Copies of this chain bind each other. A is one copy, B any other.
Amino acid sequence: MTEVATARRSRITPEREAELYEAVLDLLREVGYDALTMDAVAARTRSSKATLYRQWGGKAELVAKAVRHTKNGAGVSGIDTGSLKGDLHALTRRSDDSKMEQNSALMRGLAMAIHGNPDLLKAFKEYLIEPEMAEFRTVVQRAIDRGEVRPDCPAIDYMMHMMIGGFAARSMLDEQPPTQAFLLSYIDAVVLPALGNQGD
């Protein structure tokens, strides 16, 4: 098993991995999830389908990891500003506006596909939603430890609903992609007060 795992890891460089993810995202934008085939990914990236399956297991996992790749993957490890407001703002500032706009278009398409594809939903939860929820939990737990948020505050369970809602509703209601400025103002107006924190 160790030998296989090593072989897997060594088979692909980070540069090559990034190149593959970019090609997957391009194809996603061009044809959408349902019409995307592993054959097309293999052709576009000049890889063998066998390699793709060995490395990623399948289309859903490959797509979820490609989307995760756009998120920098820095995690909260580098973020610890000393206040909840500071941490939430810093998390938001990791994606610039053009990245957010791309992401918003991509997520719209995938949100549809998720409902017809349990594999995609599973991969999304595992590689995108769960890690993001864990980030927010870390940030909120620190705020609880500092006494900024009460541990029994009911809004804690709705962190992701609030954030996704702001992001998703923005393009529909305001006909604009979400921007950093919008999300920062939404965090101050909605998320912090709901958590009983005025951001001071």
Contact = CB atoms under 8 A, between A and B. Distances in A.
Nearest to A174: B161
Interface string A157-169: 1101111111111
A111 interface: yes
Nearest to A115: B108
Contact of A169 (B105, B168, B185): B168
Contacts of A189: 154-155, 157-158, 194
B172 A164 contact: yes
> For chain A, which range describes its interface: under 10, 10 to 19, 20 to 34, or 35 or more residues?
35 or more
Q: Chain A interface secondary structure, helix, strand, loop or mixed?
A: helix
A85 B33 CA distance: 41
Copies of this chain per assembly: 2
Contacts of A188: 154
B161 A173 contact: yes
Interface in A101-128: 105, 108-109, 111-112, 114-115, 121
A109 B193 CA distance: 32
Contact of A158 (B109, B175, B186): B186
Contacts of A105: 115
Interface of A: 105, 108-109, 111-112, 114-115, 121, 129, 154-155, 157-158, 160-173, 175, 185-186, 188-191, 193-194, 196
Given A111-B112, A164-B165, A191-B194, 8 more contacts: A105-B115, A108-B111, A129-B172, A154-B189, A157-B189, A160-B173, A162-B166, A168-B168
